[in-house]
Homo-oligomer: A and B are copies of this chain.
Amino acid sequence: MQESAPVFQDACPISKSDRIGLYKTILARRDVRAEFKPDPIPDHVLSRVLMAAHLAPSVGFMQPWNFVVIRSPQAKRKVHDAFLAANAEAAEMFDAGRRERYRRLKLEGIMEAPVNVCVTCDRDRAGPVVIGRTHIPIMDQYSAVCAVQNLWLAARAEGLGVGWVSILRQSALRGALGIPTTIIPIAYLCVGYVARFRQRPELEDAGWLPRLPLQDLVFFDRWGGEEGEPGGLTSRIAEAMALARQGRFMAAIEADGGA
């Protein structure tokens, strides 16, 4: 391959309105398991969502992903069978107190969602030695996860719900879709228009686990390190979380200086 002269982006292509669009999408993104509508996804919309995935970062620019787009009920049924088998095993792993609550949760929308997408990772995509993968071999799988998150956000911006189904044996998923053993399935996603999106994650509403206070998860300069100055980043994080809870986060960005 030839080297090309670098071309640079315009000095300031991202406006405040773009920034608000990005944050609105991040705040509005949910893991959707119920309320999928059968309406088909237009090809031009799905193509944009897949392109967003393809423009994710990847270690050594290896772009290790493939996307298996599943629309036939027969193919979905095979994956759904694999889910049912794994989910029955999963329920048994919870202690008696949580088992019944677990069984009541709706954890996938495989058959209802018009489109399912399996995102995979091909570790051999770019030869044995990959820039940036020399010391942390799992980096290629992480790249494929970045593609999943881009896909998820683009879908939400298009008004599409996405649900990540991970209660599956990898061997059963490979069998259902004919995925070779050299390929790692990363994510099985249900995608479709939905009647509505929840304001909060479903497991938060269900009282399963609380939203953690972000300021408790941030350290400084070393694991466990506290911020030197009072009223610094830690305070601003708590403020940002409070604004988001009150639905006032976008207004704060709007009021911020700059273009």
Contact = CB atoms under 8 A, between A and B. Distances in A.
Contact of A240 (B47, B67, B133, B139): B47
A134 B209 CA distance: 17
Nearest to A153: B22
A150 B26 contact: yes
Nearest to A176: B222
A183 to B, nearest CB: 7
Q: Report copies per complex.
A: 2
Contacts of A207: 1-4
Nearest to A169: B135
B69 A7 contact: no
A199 B3 contact: no
Contact of A131 (B15, B24, B197, B208): B208
B102 A131 contact: yes
Q: How large is the interface on A (under 10, 10 to 19, 20 to 34, 35 or more residues)?
A: 35 or more
Contact of A149 (B56, B65, B72, B212): B56
A254 interface: no
A126 B9 contact: no
A19 B52 CA distance: 12
A105 interface: yes
A110 interface: no
A51 B207 CA distance: 22
A166 B179 CA distance: 28
A159 B14 contact: yes
A135 B136 CA distance: 23
Contacts of A74: 221
A97 to B, nearest CB: 12
A43 B233 contact: yes
B145 A149 contact: yes
Interface in A1-48: 1-9, 11-15, 17-29, 31, 43-44, 46-48
Contacts of A26: 52, 55, 150, 153-154
Given A21-B22, A31-B57, A135-B166, 9 more contacts: A3-B205, A17-B17, A19-B158, A54-B241, A60-B208, A68-B225, A90-B135, A139-B166, A146-B148
Interface of A: 1-9, 11-15, 17-29, 31, 43-44, 46-48, 50-52, 54-57, 59-63, 65-72, 74-75, 86, 89-90, 93-95, 102, 105, 107, 126, 129, 131-136, 138-139, 141-142, 145-146, 148-150, 152-154, 156-159, 164, 166-170, 177-180, 183, 186-187, 196-212, 214, 217-225, 232-233, 235-237, 239-241, 244, 253, 256
